[in-house]
Amino acid sequence: MILATLGAAAFLLAASVAVFALANRGPRNALLLALAQNRRWIAPRIIVVGDSLAACCPFAELSRRPLGVLTLARGGATLKEIAGQIQQARPIAARYVIIDGGLNDILFHDAPPEQIDNDFRALLRCLDEGATAIFTLMPYVADPSRSERIEAANRRMSALCAEHGVAVLDLNPELSTGGVRRPEMTDDGLHFSPRANAVWIAAVRRMTA
């Protein structure tokens, strides 16, 4: 009887957290982070960190559990800020960490290559060795004048990922042609369309199966 009551209480707690999670991303992240550190049965299997591309992608589809995926990504985040997201998630010890980033640094902060290199190195050092990290290379945007810088940064990031044992996911062959994002893969020239999000989710699902 006692065990049944405790089981029911645990179920109700999980259900309550799930409802809160679906309704309030900001406050629910703080709540889930706190709960997951002491209750491993709540802990998400996948953590998503990054910028607005990741924040707007429905990665929850990767898990059948309501709390199976925790997205800490935020719009406008730079590589330094994404490193902070990784630090925030470290106590959870998720199985996978999905990462994107770098476009804000290049497009809106005009960060020089040396800064991109240093900030990405620092980001990789924040990763928990127990988790499998997957870094999504920067996608091309609709403006072809940005392609060269994106390519150069992606080459360097790929090399650094190889040094740190981080898996690399390149969506550009499916999203772009000739260094330019295809029209059906973006809503505004920068962010992903639902079709592009579906490509990303499918690729991550294959890598985390």
List, in order of start, the domains of the chain with CATH numbers: 43-208 (3.40.50.1110)
Per-residue pLDDT at 32: 61
pLDDT at 119 over 50: yes
**Average of per-residue pLDDT across 117-122:** 98
- Answer for the pair 135, 99: CB distance below 8 angstroms, yes or no: yes
Task: Report d(CA 119, CA 127) in Å as an integer.
Answer: 13
pTM confidence score: 0.83
Per-residue pLDDT tens digits for 120-169: 999 999 998 889 999 999 999 999 999 999 999 999 999 999 999 999 99
Percent with pLDDT over 90 in the chain: 74
Per-residue pLDDT at 19: 38
Decide which of 144 and 66 is more confident.
Answer: 144
Task: Report d(CA 94, CA 36) in Å as an integer.
Answer: 10
- Answer for the pair 136, 200: CB distance below 8 angstroms, yes or no: yes
pLDDT at 82 over 80: yes
Q: And the tokens for 57?
A: 């992608």
Outline where 139-193 has alpha helix (H): 147-164, 172-175
Question: How many CB atoms within 10 Å of residue 73?
Answer: 24
Per-residue pLDDT tens digits for 15-37: 444 434 433 455 656 666 655 55
Report the relative pairing of strands 96-100 and 69-71 from DSSP bridges. Answer: unpaired
